[in-house]
Amino acid sequence: MSFTRPLLILLMINVISVAQSQNRAEALNTRGNYDRSMTVNRFGIVATSQTLASAAGAEILRQGGNAIDAAIAANAVLGVAEPMMNGIGGDLFAIVYLAKDNKLYGLNSSGWAPQGLTLEFLKSKGITEHIPRDIQAVTVPGAVAGWDALHQRFGKLPLDRVLQPATYDARNGIPIAELVAEIWQTEGESLAKKPGFSETFLKSGHAPQTGEIFRNPDLANSLELIARHGRDGFYRGPLADKLVQFSHEQGSVIANSDLADFQPEWVEPISTTYRAWTVSELPPNGQGIAALSMLNIMEQFPLESYGHNSTKALHVMIEAKKLAYADLIRYVGDPRFSDIPVQKLLSKDLARRRADSIDPNHAHCDVLPSDLTQRLNAMAAETTYLTAIDSDGNIVSLIQSNYSGFGTGLVAPGTGFALQNRGQLFSLKPGQPNTLAPHKRPLHTIIPGFMHKGDERIGFGIMGGFNQAQAHAQFVSNIADFGMNIQDALSAARFTKPTFAGCDLLIESRVPEFVRNELAVKGHQLKLVSPYSDETGRGNAVMRIGSGVNFGASDPRADGEAIPQVPDFNRR
């Protein structure tokens, strides 16, 4: 016995030690039972929601461009391939990680309201509650100014070469992918009578079907102007004149000066720590602060011990979402017009107090300090997110959107793109942080994300209106709490609460039935959606580790792929 017992203890210690080592290895190399593997490459990777856009970005990398060039190229192709999601009539935000500086740079290229668009003007038109989805919802598009700012500061290749893939696709045609064809059909029917829409997007009298070649020569001409003249090709000259003339014909007060004077803003990213990771977002006027606030609240609970997508973990995350979004609606707007208490909202002390208010047994259906009188179109979700990494480790996390599908649906003759309806996010109630004002930017839904720990760097984003901040938090938790790799973290089943009040919740059917039943007992009002529902967002991610190897991932909820750069085999 004296020999057997120590030997048994030693064997048990060895077994435990081996198990712990295996767990650590699995945390770094885990691959869940989902849908696809990560893309792994020594060179660059571009991950988008459309395979042809990813391929275009990867080709720009092969030609000697960097991650910034590749991101712009991919974004421009996305404007051809999925024009309901994004395009040069919309806005853009980006986080750039420059490896040589080991620093993040933030770009806010969200457009402002026209100088003449005031509460008084709208009241004279009978608009007092919310801006309808028409010409008054059009804010100055920021995407092209964003491209220009990114290219001027960080790009390597000439802009005309970067935009060449998109120009080629627009002029010669691009085959339409499956999910895009479905959305095009739905959105196209509702917008068919909008001025300029059918001529541009329903050329044969219907939405293009899967595999049908879609050509947009007007967009090709617009891209060529931008390729030759940069931002001035859009905000000045003949293209700007077309936009202003058309807008006036529809009843807008937009002026040439509203376009010519617009400039994007370089901003300092905001961040918080979650477990051992630092997570970064862009500051207001976007909703990124809600993702960080939600993570701060979630951090007060041992989610790892609860288990992934367990009842206890999901309940905490859903309640944290409500609390974070309540503060988002109460405090966030354009910081150039009002003081926004960013540091207070990101305080760990505030997170602890907010976490203490979560009842482990019951869902809260009304969370203060929400101003629930505001009307926000929380379901608008037509956005594209992409990310690119190059062989030097530079990363671009970029998001671009029309807001609703095809934005307003309004297309100025000869331009080839729809104008966004981002102005619908303004409040028309005086005295609020997000109240409409001339040259003010609305509260914005689209957010790029970034996270790092040690020598790991991850650019990520998940699209879908006010789904985005809560989807970011779930992605981060999948990695930090549950040891998933970036592909599994994107693919894992998600929930989304698209509204601000109430206990309604959309949840994917892959979440176990017994968990859904237990959530319902707590008071959550669940609506079951498909196993991989685009209502919970579509994401992409790239990652760099210390060895210099790059990884890419693309969400199975979209048509996309993470495509690696092919090296120049002629070089030695």
Q: Sign of the CA dihedral 511, 512, 515, 516?
A: positive
Nearest Cα to 507, choosing from 491, 488, 529?
Answer: 529
Q: Sign of the CA dihedral 83, 267, 476, 39?
A: positive
d(CA 298, CA 312): 11
Under 8 Å between Cβ of 492 and 518: no
Under 8 Å between Cβ of 560 and 77: no
d(CA 374, CA 446): 19
Half-sphere exposure of 254 (CA within 13 A, CB side): 32
Q: Phi-psi bin for 23: left (phi > 0), alpha (psi -120 to 50), beta?
A: alpha
DSSP one-letter string for 168-203 = HHHHH-EEPPHHHHHHHHHHHHHHTTSTTHHHHH-T
The single residue listed with the structure tokens 């060529």 is 224
d(CA 41, CA 111): 36
Residue 383 annotated as catalytic:
yes
Question: Which member of 200, 383, 435, 496 is catalytic?
Answer: 383
Distances (CA, A) of 451 to 189, 265, 275, 281: 40, 22, 12, 9
Q: Which residues contact 102 (CB under 8 A, 6 or more apart)?
A: none
Which residues make beta-bridge pairs with 98? Answer: 103
- The catalytic residues are 383
